[in-house]
Amino acid sequence: MFTSITYLRLLAAPVTAMLILGTLLVLEQRHFDQNSALLLALLTGVAVAEILPSAALGLVFLALVLQSVKVFPLVLLSGVLSYAAVPVVIFFAVIGWKTRNRWVPPVAAVVFAGITAVSWFTDQTWINFIFGNQLYGRGILRTLAYAFLIFGAFAALNLAAWAVGLAVNNVSRSRRAQLAAEARLRETATELAVEQERNRIARELHDVLAHSLTVIVAQAEGIRFIHRAEPESVEEASRVIAESARTALVETRRLIEGFSTELTDHPAHRVEDLVILAERLGSSGMPVQVEMAGHPRDLTPMQHLTVYRLAQESLTNAFKHGNRSQARSCTWCGQKRPWSSGSAHRSSPTRQRRR
């Protein structure tokens, strides 16, 4: 959008030149003849001032010099309103100025005021018409005072146009800097969101795969020891392996395909699934007891998933790093077995106590 406004702004100078030309043609009832040479030269400078500021200032300087040396018609024939185009040229030239020599436009503004004052005093008929009496022959100091007043008026007008153009330039640069900063902020926010999502997926994958692979390894190791002595227990161990692998596959596919559990009302796991998690680890040889106290309360999907992941990570770490040398009784055969060799045996029934 800002780029489109910039392109439209380039049309401002030519449109302004056309408006000035139309206004002067109406006010002064002008015609396109030799008396319009200065006006056409100045309006050409207005039209190209923003695109070619140096060329526009040079054109204005040349036109004013040609008038002061009487090549162009003098002020009375050219019309005093033609000089209104000079500060407009300065304004657009400052906006379009790209070089480092930023002192050129204000110096040009003062030089234009000086040449204009010379042109006014070159046209004796015009200067006497303005001041209402014979100015020449009344003393050099009187003439210089009037010349300084005319020069000061045009210099102030031209420098005001330069200051306004400079202010517009500063505002435009500030706006561009603000837009660039906002763009960088959006890019940073996007990168941060992507990094956060990547970390979330990594954490989810770690929780899913660590738990599932731990259970699968425990069950597989148990099968190695009991597949001959207790073949009937192999089916139960195989079922646990298949269920753990299937669950890991489904959750991994959900993460890879981008179905974020943070954006859905149906989380992958709920607090109620802790019972299934306990039974799965219990069937792998680790005694797990589930206790429920108090009254259930409504949780958000993320709260459900967070509670489940915390319990899952804790149980997985306990299973991997617990003291496996402590044997326990298997409820099926009544023998003392460590966790690794009793992975295919069912532990004591999971107890749920509700208060």
Q: For residue 81, name the pLDDT band (cuts at 50, 70, 90).
A: confident
Tens of pLDDT, residue by residue over 342-353, are 333 333 333 333
For residue 155, the model assigns a pLDDT of: 94
Dist CA 320 CA 82 (whole Å): 93
The share of the chain scoring above pLDDT 70, in percent, equals 76
Same domain, yes or no, for 118 and 257?
A: no
d(CA 224, CA 344) in angstroms, rounded, equals: 10
Both 338 and 225 in a single domain?
yes
Distance CA 314, CA 211 (A): 10
pLDDT tens digits along 121-168: 888 778 777 776 655 556 677 778 888 888 999 999 999 999 999 998
Lookup: tokens for 245:
């692998």
Tell me if 181 is assigned to some domain.
no
Q: What is the pLDDT of residue 349?
A: 35
pLDDT band at 307 (very low <50, low <70, confident <90, very high): confident
* 321 occurs within a structural domain: yes
**Are 63 and 5 spatial neighbours (Cβ–Cβ below 8 Å)?**
no
Q: Is residue 244 part of a domain?
A: yes
Q: How far is CA 192 from the centre of its chain?
A: 13
pLDDT reading at 247 higher than 50:
yes
Q: Is 229 part of a structural domain of the chain?
A: yes
Question: Domain range spanning residue 227?
Answer: 188-354
Q: Domain count for the chain, please give it.
A: 2
The last residue of one of the domains, among 138, 173, 202, is 138
d(CA 7, CA 23): 26
> What pLDDT, on the 0 to 100 scale, is given for residue 44?
92
Total-model pTM: 0.55
Angle at 36 between CA 63 and CA 163, to 5 degrees: 50
Query: What is the band of 94 on the pLDDT scale with cuts at 50, 70, 90?
Result: very high
Domain assignment present for residue 6? The answer is yes
> Could you report the per-residue pLDDT of 37-79, keeping only the tens digit for each?
888 999 999 999 989 999 999 999 999 999 988 888 888 888 8
Average pLDDT value for residue range 254-282: 65
**Do 257 and 336 lie in a common domain?**
yes
Do 64 and 200 fall within a single domain?
A: no
